[in-house]
Amino acid sequence: MAVQESSDLESFAQNQVQSDQDHLPLVLVHRLPSFDIPLTPLLQSHFIVLDPHHSSHSPPNSFLYSQAQSVRALVVYGPCPLTADTIRLLPSLELVVATSAGVDHIDVSECRLRGITVTNAGDAFSEDVADYAVALLVGVLRRLTAADRYVRSGLWRLNVEYPLGSKIGGKRVGIVGLGRIGSEVAKRLMAFGCSIAYNSRKKKPSVPYPYFANVYDLATNSDVLVVCCALTSATHHIISREVMKALGKEGVLINVGRGALVDEKELFQFLTRGEIGGAGLDVFENEPDVPRELFTLDNVVLSPHKAVLTPESLESVFQLVLANLKAFFSNKPLMSVVHQE
């Protein structure tokens, strides 16, 4: 093929791509500059993706003013806060698609006021988080990370006394928030021979486990509390000093929800004074800052807010994001709408 002919063909192909793209819907992404997840290429094959943090773009807010006025759909990557101020910069916004299960970083009330629908990760993470909650529970009760440290530090060879952990079967487990994740935790722990009770906003008629209308009573009747409810103004510090006291000296607290569900200052006091048996924590109030006092405690298992993440769960949340966006742009029902009070 002659050179001229080939370049004509290339520019025709480019123009064709451009004109096909002109018909694609716009999707804005909202992310922390440091938080890059590989969802963008998938979105780019279906939408024109606007990313204010893209290096060639102007500062995010002026980009929103100049480029994003007609944007109807916004994808919120990970924990990036979506405030009322940012929402107000987007007059055409109709849909917020969160890649997370929790939406406490999104001003859902402002979305509701504006008639903007919010979707979340739905069930994409539930099994993985539930597995992890159980792993933390076993880790604390059977002292798994302490056992690992015991071997690595050579204490085994020195025949230093090894404090025994406690049996999982037979434990009374109280689940705070029996939603998708909590229900998966319950299912797994039933198989371990634990008994399950729960607290949530309302009693669930179809659930066989005993219901406690308040967390204090649940804690009084539990050996372990697993916290997996959403963080809202009603659940902030739901695990209070009183609840920890009710859980008692041998009690164990597992948190895979959000750090602010637990009064962390109190928890650290309870742990250091031995007034609670142990804790398994995947989430903290000021991540990634974790109070250093915890580093010295053998009855605490710490984890960097990764309970949700496996390659499999990421793939399924990406597919869910895509499915929600496609449904929205073709006026079909959305998959995972958040109905939070």
Task: List interacting residues with ligand O=CC(=O)O (CB under 6 A).
Answer: 100-102, 121, 125, 308
CB 166 within 8 A of CB 142: yes
Can 114 be counted among the known catalytic residues?
no
| Active-site annotation holder among 31, 258, 264, 266 | 258
What span, in angstroms and rounded, lies between the C-alpha atoms of 226 and 19?
53
Can 94 be counted among the known catalytic residues?
no
179: closest CA among 234, 123, 133? 123
Using DSSP, state whether 280 is helix, strand or coil.
Answer: strand
CB nearer to ligand O=CC(=O)O: pick between 102 and 277: 102
| Active-site annotation holder among 105, 188, 241, 305 | 305
Least Å distance, CB 65 to ligand O=CC(=O)O, is 30
Least Å distance, CB 117 to ligand O=CC(=O)O, is 18
CB 42 within 8 A of CB 322: yes
CB nearer to ligand O=CC(=O)O: pick between 100 and 303: 100
Can 152 be counted among the known catalytic residues?
no
Least Å distance, CB 230 to ligand O=CC(=O)O, is 9
CB nearer to ligand O=CC(=O)O: pick between 179 and 210: 179
CB nearer to ligand O=CC(=O)O: pick between 129 and 194: 129
Half-sphere exposure of 199 (CA within 13 A, CB side): 24
What span, in angstroms and rounded, lies between the C-alpha atoms of 245 and 268?
13
Tokens matching residue 233: 């103004």
Q: Which residues contact 281 (CB under 8 A, 6 or more apart)?
A: 136, 253, 254, 255, 259, 294, 300, 301, 302, 303
| Active-site annotation holder among 10, 287, 312, 315 | 287
Active site residues: 258, 287, 305
